[in-house]
């Protein structure tokens, strides 16, 4: 069953601004799992944010952390595990009476509606990591979702690699310190993805001056949402879609 096609999809949130479910919907379901992405779309969100890592055997899986201890009942590091080893792990270990696998990126994309926006955040342990973005791009092309996806990363090398291979795929530079603005000219992103508490009027003006879209993370208060809506940002990443002001 395709996510978002069930009876629980009570309302559709969205206008020109994109609303992204953070790691699926991490305060409503286990993060970066099929349960989480289903929860985001059933809540009415039109887009999801997904974190991805590369396993020891080169598979792209959806998870925020390199270590397994924080969110799962496994131990060790994902980049030292094969996909078959990860399949035995419960990714919902911190949720009472819940079970979920660490999904591959492909297993998530095959269940998302065609119109769903996807922000794929690539996480790397090394600055000079070309392999992960190359594999992610192969998957994106396989599913023919180039027009619905943004590849984001804190790593500017990842974004340059994406643009070198396929300039049509949109990218977003993530940052949580204003000094990272200096990386924009190297990364050449289509969007900036600043943390909400550093997203000032000056930063918004800077982005618009250089025709960069702005997707802000993670905005969970109604007042914060209203502020960024008034500033006409491109997108808002949130954990709480129920907080989104009515009328959007």
Domain limits of the chain?
A: 18-243
pLDDT at residue 13 greater than cutoff 90:
no
State which fold the 18-243 domain adopts. Answer: TIM Barrel (3.20.20)
| 247 or 174: which leads in pLDDT | 174
Question: Do residues 123 and 151 make contact, with C-beta atoms less than 8 angstroms apart?
Answer: no
pLDDT at residue 10 greater than cutoff 50:
no
Task: Grade residue 16 by pLDDT with cuts at 50, 70 and 90.
Answer: confident
Rounded Cα distance, 38 and 106, in Å: 15
What whole-number percentage of the chain has pLDDT above 90?
92
Give residue 8's pLDDT: 38
Mean pLDDT, rounded, of the chain:
94
What's the rounded mean pLDDT across residues 39-50? 97
Give residue 181's pLDDT: 96
Give residue 246's pLDDT: 86
Give residue 35's pLDDT: 98
pLDDT at residue 247 greater than cutoff 90:
no
Give residue 114's pLDDT: 92
pLDDT at residue 126 greater than cutoff 60:
yes
* 95-121 confidence digits (pLDDT tens): 999 999 999 999 999 999 999 999 999
pLDDT at residue 59 greater than cutoff 80:
yes
Give residue 2's pLDDT: 63
Task: Grade residue 217 by pLDDT with cuts at 50, 70 and 90.
Answer: very high
Question: Do residues 89 and 68 make contact, with C-beta atoms less than 8 angstroms apart?
Answer: yes
Give residue 60's pLDDT: 98
3-state DSSP helix/strand/coil % of the chain, to nearest 5? 35, 20, 50
pLDDT at residue 7 greater than cutoff 90:
no
Rounded Cα distance, 46 and 38, in Å: 11
Give residue 11's pLDDT: 40
* 140-159 confidence digits (pLDDT tens): 999 999 999 999 999 999 99
The count of other CB atoms within 10 Å of the CB of residue 131 is 13
pLDDT at residue 14 greater than cutoff 80:
no
């Amino acid at each position: 069953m395709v996510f978002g096609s069930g009876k629980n999809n009570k309302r559709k949130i969205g206008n020109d601004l994109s609303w992204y479910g953070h790691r699926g919907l991490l305060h409503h379901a286990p993060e970066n799992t099929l349960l989480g992405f289903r929860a985001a779309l059933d809540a009415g969100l039109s887009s999801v944010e997904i974190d991805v890592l590369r396993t020891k055997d080169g598979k792209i899986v959806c998870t925020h952390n390199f270590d397994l201890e924080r969110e799962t009942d496994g131990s060790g590091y994902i980049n030292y595990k094969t996909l078959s080893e990860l399949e035995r792990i419960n990714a919902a270990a911190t949720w009472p009476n819940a079970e979920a696998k660490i999904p591959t990126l492909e297993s998530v994309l095959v269940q998302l509606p065609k119109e769903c926006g996807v922000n794929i955040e690539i996480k790397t342990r090394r600055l000079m990591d070309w392999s992960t973005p190359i594999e992610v791009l192969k998957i994106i092309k396989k599913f023919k979702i180039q027009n619905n996806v943004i590849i984001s990363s804190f790593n500017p090398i990842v974004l340059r690699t994406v643009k070198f291979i396929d300039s049509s795929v949109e990218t977003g530079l993530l940052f949580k310190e204003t000094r990272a603005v200096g990386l924009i000219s190297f990364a050449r992103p289509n969007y900036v993805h600043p943390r909400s508490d550093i997203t000032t009027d000056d930063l918004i003006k800077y982005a618009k001056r250089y025709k960069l879209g702005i997707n802000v993370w993670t905005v969970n208060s109604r007042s914060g949402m209203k502020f960024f809506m008034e500033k006409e940002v491109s997108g808002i990443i949130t954990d709480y879609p129920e907080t989104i002001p009515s009328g959007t």
